[in-house]
Each structure stands twice: as C-alpha cells, then as structure tokens.
Amino acid sequence: AQLPILEFPDPRLRTVATDVDPSQIGSPEFQRLLDDMFETMYDAPGIGLAASQVDVHQRFMVIDVSEENDTPMVFINPQILASEGEEVHEEGCLSVPGIFAEVTRAERITVKALDREGESFELDCDGLLAVCVQHEMDHLLGKLFVDYLSPLKREMVRKKLAKARRNAA
C-alpha cells in the first residue's frame, strides 16, 4: 500500500530515528513495510525514501537511482565509514514538494548497513547514489535539505508550501 509522506514543516520529520532491532528484519511486518516504502517511492516518483518520511522513526531507507527503476536497495542501520571530496548537486525532496536547491555533500562515501535479509554489507558510492544515501541518512537524523539553505530562503520555501496547501484545500 502507498504510505502518506510527511511534508515540511511537520515537526515529526525532525524526529531522530532509533536503530532497527536486527531480529525484526525477517518479520512479515517489517518486510511488508519495506514493500510499502518501495511502492510509495516508485509512485511519488522518487529515487529514495527514508522511514522518517512515512512517520516510522527507525533507521532504515530504500533507494533506487536506476533509470529503469529496477535496482531496489535497502539500507538498515546505515553508517558512513569514510567520505571524501565535495560535490554540489541539485536536490529535491518528497517531503518538500516542488522545491529544488543545490546542496554540497561528500563526493564519495563508504556506507555500511544491513540489507533486507539482515546481512551486513559495505558499499563505495559516488555520483547520484552517494548524494541520495547522504540525503536519506539526513532524514533519519531529522535533517532536511532545506536546512542547508539560508534562513531567508527556508522561510520562502515554508511560505510557498503553505500557499500551495491553501490552494489545494
């Protein structure tokens, strides 16, 4: 099922997620949640989705940066072991619809996490995957890409979204 995505400035997006209990990963409920998150992400459409965005405050995220939407990736209890370089990339966010801004992040990262089978893996990422992993991991810390904007610009974003919500209502 598609899950409702929380939208800025909803304070629940600021919650810091807690580690997933590895013994829960194999449960039907957790596997169903992963499936629902992929369905929600592909439908949005998006290239990533953090559990925080669907009001589940546990440390996991789903990503698929492939052109064909056929490379689903699950990162549970992710941690960045190493990072290097700097790269500016235009980012969007399903929790801040219609807003795009440039963000500077590490160019290359080594991320360690558990996969959907609960197996530990390490991955060297660069390019859009590295950007997306860092963007999703920020969500798990209650951070949004608009936090990298000036307070003035962030206020403009808040007003723009509030207006869009009024018009939609």
Ligand X SMILES: O=C(O)C[C@@H](Cc1ccccc1)C(=O)SCC(=O)c1ccccc1
Handedness of CA 5, 93, 65, 85 (dihedral sign): negative
The region that residue 77 occupies, defined by phi over 0 for left and psi between -120 and 50 for alpha, beta otherwise, is left
Least Å distance between CB 144 and Zn ion?
Answer: 7
Residue number with CB closer to ligand X (77 or 136): 136
List the beta bridge partners of residue 91.
101
Tokens at residue 97, please?
Answer: 């619809």
**At 156, phi and psi to the nearest 5?**
-60, -40
The answer to whether residue 62 forms part of the interface with ligand X (CB under 6 A) is no
The answer to whether residue 137 forms part of the interface with Zn ion (CB under 5 A) is no
The answer to whether residue 46 forms part of the interface with ligand X (CB under 6 A) is yes
Tokens at residue 12, please?
Answer: 């629940």
Q: Which stretch binds ligand X (CB under 6 A): 25-33, 40-48, 72-80, 111-119?
A: 40-48
The answer to whether residue 135 forms part of the interface with ligand X (CB under 6 A) is yes
In 97-150, alpha helices (H):
127-140
Tokens at residue 68, please?
Answer: 């064909």
Least Å distance between CB 129 and Zn ion?
Answer: 15
Which residue in the set 61, 93, 109, 129 belongs to the binding site for Zn ion (CB under 5 A)? 93
Per the annotation, the verdict on 136 as an active-site residue is yes
Total number of residues binding ligand X (CB under 6 A)? 16
Residue number with CB closer to ligand X (48 or 116): 48
Tokens at residue 154, please?
Answer: 């962030």
Residue number with CB closer to Zn ion (25 or 74): 74
Residue number with CB closer to ligand X (21 or 142): 142
**SS3 state at 105:** strand
C-alpha gyration radius of the chain: 16
Catalytic residue ranges:
136
Chain residues binding ligand X by CB under 6 A are 45-50, 91-95, 131-132, 135-136, 139
Using CB under 5 A as the criterion, which residues of the chain lie in contact with Zn ion when the complex forms?
93
